[in-house]
Copies of this chain bind each other. A is one copy, B any other.
Amino acid sequence: MAGNSFGNVFKLTTFGESHGVAIGGVIDGCPAGISIDFDAIQHEMDRRKPGQSKIVTQRKESDTVEFLSGIFEGVTTGTPIGFIIKNANQKSKDYSHIKDVFRPSHADFTYNEKYGQRDYRGGGRSSARETACRVVAGAIAKQFLSAIEINAYTSAVGDISLDKNYQELDFSKTESNPVRCPDPILAEQMIEKIKAIRKEGDTIGGTVSCVIKNVPVGLGEPVFDRLHAQLGKAMLSINAVKGFEYGSGFEGVKMKGSAHNDVFNNDGSTKTNRSGGIQGGISNGMDIYFNVAFKPVATVMQAQETIDKDGNTVEMHGKGRHDPCVVPRAVPIVEAMAALVIADFMLLNRLSKL
**Would you call B255 and A15 a contact (CB within 8 A)?**
no
How distant is A43 from chain B, measured CB to nearest CB, in Å?
22
Query: A352 within 8 Å of B by Cβ?
Result: yes
**Would you call B9 and A304 a contact (CB within 8 A)?**
no
Query: Nearest residue in B to A340 (C-beta to C-beta)?
Result: B224
The CA of A276 and the CA of B293, in the complex, are separated in Å by: 14
**Would you call B261 and A298 a contact (CB within 8 A)?**
yes
Binary CB contact string for chain A from 289 to 304 against chain B (1 if under 8 A, 0 otherwise)? 0010111111110101
Query: A177 within 8 Å of B by Cβ?
Result: no
A252-B242 CB under 8 A given contacts A29-B351, A279-B109, A280-B106: yes
Chain A contacts with B in 10-29, Cβ cutoff 8 A: 11, 13-17, 20-26, 28-29
Query: A62 within 8 Å of B by Cβ?
Result: no
The CA of A295 and the CA of B228, in the complex, are separated in Å by: 14
Chain A contacts with B in 318-352, Cβ cutoff 8 A: 347-352
| 8 A-B contact pairs sorted by A residue (CB < 8 Å) | A2-B9, A5-B5, A32-B117, A104-B262, A111-B280, A223-B237, A228-B242, A242-B253
Query: Nearest residue in B to A293 (C-beta to C-beta)?
Result: B250
**Would you call B78 and A281 a contact (CB within 8 A)?**
no
Chain A contacts with B in 184-222, Cβ cutoff 8 A: 197, 200, 202-207, 217-218, 220-222
**Would you call A1 and B29 a contact (CB within 8 A)?**
yes
How distant is A268 from chain B, measured CB to nearest CB, in Å?
6
Partner of A223, one of B3, B207, B218, B220: B3
The winner among A14, A26, A75, A81 for most chain B CB atoms within 10 A is A26
